[in-house]
């Protein structure tokens, strides 16, 4: 090869090209022996717990959590993500009056990433967000990993509460501004009579 710059460039490219795939293979191996089994076990455990508790009890717990604003935008999104995972968690919005559904969705979708610090199965497809957040701490101060995990989750609860209340407030303004108060009164009446999906035109 000598000092030929073209050959040096080709050699460098070939070495780094295969090196990229070697690193990808190592990463895949670490996932296959680490996070993937963990996710499978956690998913199985959550499904088993839900089955053991019973769908009816879970539904009653969700309806109870939906009655109060603070639990509607903290406990309810957390349980929805924990038990049903993303994206099925949003279906628990069916237990709420129509006027609260946008805020519930906003709070729940905002819980997708904070919950992965403690329960990675809840949003396994985006676990890379949490691993990216925690990677620096793992290198600099591994002993603080547990502290970061708890704080990440707790801050997430605060954020989803704020977003839930803000979206509920904005929804109320838009309903009033758009002249939709009468139709939402009908939705509320239908909900009060047991039609949890609204059911009015």
pLDDT score of 96 more than 80 = yes
pLDDT at 54: 74
The arithmetic mean of pLDDT across residues 36-49, rounded, is 68
Nearest Cα neighbor of 79 from 92, 69, 70 is: 92
Q: CB neighbours (10 Å) of residue 98?
A: 21
pLDDT score of 58 more than 80 = no
Q: In this structure, is residue 32 part of a structural domain?
A: no
Using CA atoms, how far residue 68 sits from 4, 82, 94, 156, in Å, is 74, 20, 16, 19
Output 92 or 108, whichever has higher pLDDT.
108
Q: In this structure, is residue 29 part of a structural domain?
A: no
Using CA atoms, how far residue 44 sits from 2, 83, 87, 101, in Å, is 59, 11, 17, 29
Confidence of residue 35 (pLDDT cuts 50, 70, 90): low
Nearest Cα neighbor of 126 from 33, 37, 39 is: 39
Structural domain range at position 159: 58-192
**pTM of the full predicted structure?**
0.73
> For residue 34, what are the contacts with CB-CB under 8 A and spacing of at least 6?
none
- For tokens 């704020």, the residue is 162
Using CA atoms, how far residue 129 sits from 135, 165, 194, in Å, is 10, 25, 40
Q: In this structure, is residue 200 part of a structural domain?
A: no
Asked whether the beta carbons of 121 and 39 are under 8 A apart, the reply is: yes
pLDDT at 142: 84
Output 126 or 14, whichever has higher pLDDT.
126
Q: How many domains does the chain have?
A: 1
Nearest Cα neighbor of 100 from 131, 76, 126, 66 is: 66
Confidence of residue 201 (pLDDT cuts 50, 70, 90): very low
Q: In this structure, is residue 90 part of a structural domain?
A: yes
Question: What is the sign, positive or negative, of the torsion defined by CA atoms of 93, 94, 99, 100?
Answer: negative
Q: In this structure, is residue 40 part of a structural domain?
A: no
pLDDT at 128: 81
Output 125 or 27, whichever has higher pLDDT.
125
pLDDT in tens, 140-188: 888 888 999 999 999 999 999 999 999 999 999 999 999 999 998 988 8
Output 97 or 16, whichever has higher pLDDT.
97
Q: In this structure, is residue 137 part of a structural domain?
A: yes
Q: In this structure, is residue 81 part of a structural domain?
A: yes
Q: In this structure, is residue 107 part of a structural domain?
A: yes
């Amino acid at each position: 090869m000598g000092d030929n710059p073209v050959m040096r460039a080709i050699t460098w490219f070939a070495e780094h090209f295969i090196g990229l795939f070697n690193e990808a293979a190592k990463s895949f191996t670490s996932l296959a022996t680490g996070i993937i089994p963990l996710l499978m076990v956690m998913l199985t455990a959550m499904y088993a717990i839900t089955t053991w508790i019973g769908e009816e009890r879970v539904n009653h717990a969700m309806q109870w959590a939906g009655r109060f604003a603070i639990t509607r935008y903290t406990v309810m999104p957390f349980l929805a993500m924990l038990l049903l995972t993303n994206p099925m968690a949003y279906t628990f919005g069916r237990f709420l009056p129509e006027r609260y559904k946008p805020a519930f969705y906003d709070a729940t979708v905002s819980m997708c990433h904070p919950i992965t610090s403690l329960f990675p199965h809840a949003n396994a497809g985006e676990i890379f967000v949490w691993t990216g957040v925690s990677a620096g701490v793992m290198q600099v101060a591994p002993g603080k990993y547990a502290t970061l995990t708890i704080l990440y989750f707790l801050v997430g609860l605060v954020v989803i509460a704020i977003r839930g209340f803000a979206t509920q407030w904005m929804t109320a303004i838009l309903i009033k501004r758009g002249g939709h108060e009468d139709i939402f009164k009908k939705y509320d009446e239908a909900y009060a009579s047991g039609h949890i999906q609204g059911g009015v035109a």
